[in-house]
């Protein structure tokens, strides 16, 4: 009996939506095509590729890695196991940065994104504020390769540098805004061995300690890299807002505050010099 779209989807043991997403990815067709062609025959190579992806999904591999893409701020970003899968809550960091840039009276404001991963934050800011000079760094050169590919595909002007936090940028470079979504999960957090996190780079998730070392390093280094009146905004864990506020206050920041994500969780904290 011929293998058809319907028979493949009917036998794959995945939730309907996931099966359809994987088959669309294999056949490189839009959603409506699948609906209109469910009795079409699928060739043996595509069927084998689909079965392989289904097995990986059943073993827990994240959908974003299997289809190689995730949407963020309305843009399609390529993702690979070398980068964190962008989270919707990180859009708050971008929206806050873009709002701040709109208030600045500068023809070319300078933005630094530390720990850029797939580049979602830096690239989304660059696309929303084409007049800005956007610099993005990561300690992982593999992550930077994905980020550079995304910037080229989306037509965003971002400069990428490899190195640990501020070491990646020239000491004389000063910025109007620094943003970061650093690894903030504590090393002992049981979530690291559950769900999608099992497949994501540990370097992107945890500092290998109490979850606060990257946030602390970024906060302490920021005053030397910000122009007068410059701002720092960092994403953090659901229960880290009070300690990050104290950290920023202790580092000389003014008007320190946290903002809630759509789930009502204090998700980012920032302040200005």
Ligand X SMILES: C[S@@+](CC[C@H](N)C(=O)[O-])C[C@H]1O[C@@H](n2cnc3c(N)ncnc32)[C@H](O)[C@@H]1O
Q: List interacting residues with ligand X (CB under 6 A).
A: 84, 86, 90, 115-118, 120-121, 137-140, 143, 164-165, 181-183, 203-204
Nearer to ligand X, 139 or 174 (CB): 139
Residue (181 or 258) nearer to ligand X, CB = 181
Tell me how far, at minimum, the Cβ of 254 lies from ligand X, in Å.
Answer: 25
Q: How far is the CB of 213 from ligand X (least distance, A)?
A: 9
Q: What is the 3-state secondary structure (H, E, C) of 210-235?
A: CCCHHHHHHHHHCHHHEEEEEEEEEE
Q: How far apart are CA 60 and CA 192, in angstroms?
A: 14
Nearer to ligand X, 12 or 225 (CB): 225
Tokens 């196991």 locate to 81
The nearest distance, CB 210 to ligand X, in angstroms, is: 15
Taking the complex as a whole, how short is the minimal distance between the CB of residue 95 and ligand X, in angstroms? 13
Task: Pick the closer one to ligand X by CB: 12 or 214.
Answer: 214
Q: How far is the CB of 255 from ligand X (least distance, A)?
A: 24
Residues in the chain: 273
Please say which residue, 26 or 85, places its beta carbon nearer to ligand X: 85
- Give the shortest CB-184-to-ligand X separation in angstroms: 7
Q: How far apart are the two ends of the chain, measured CA to CA in Å? A: 70
106/164 with CB nearer ligand X: 164
């Amino acid at each position: 009996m011929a293998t058809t779209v319907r028979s493949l989807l009917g036998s794959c043991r995945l939730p309907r939506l996931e099966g359809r997403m994987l088959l669309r990815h294999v056949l490189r067709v839009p959603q409506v095509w699948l609906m209109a062609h469910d009795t079409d025959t699928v060739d043996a190579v595509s069927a084998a590729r689909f079965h392989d992806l289904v097995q990986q999904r059943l073993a827990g591999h994240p959908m974003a890695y299997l289809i190689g893409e995730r949407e963020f701020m309305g843009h399609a970003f390529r993702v690979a196991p070398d980068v964190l899968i962008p989270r919707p809550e990180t859009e708050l960091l971008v929206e806050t940065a873009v709002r701040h840039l709109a208030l600045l009276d500068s023809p070319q404001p300078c933005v630094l994104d530390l720990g850029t991963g797939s580049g979602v934050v830096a690239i989304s800011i660059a696309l929303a504020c084409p007049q800005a000079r956007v610099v993005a760094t990561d300690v992982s050169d593999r992550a930077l390769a994905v980020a550079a590919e995304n910037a080229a595909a989306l037509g965003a002007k971002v400069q990428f540098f490899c190195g640990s936090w501020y070491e990646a940028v020239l000491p004389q470079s000063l910025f109007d805004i620094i943003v970061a979504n650093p690894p903030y999960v504590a090393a002992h957090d049981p979530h690291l061995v559950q769900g999608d996190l099992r497949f994501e780079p540990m370097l992107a998730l945890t500092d290998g300690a109490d979850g606060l070392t990257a946030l602390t390093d970024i906060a302490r280094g920021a005053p030397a890299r910000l122009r007068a009146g410059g701002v720092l905004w960092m994403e953090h864990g659901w229960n880290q807002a009070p300690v990050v506020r104290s950290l920023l206050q202790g580092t000389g920041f003014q008007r320190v505050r946290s903002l809630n994500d759509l789930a009502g969780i204090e998700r980012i904290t920032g302040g200005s010099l």
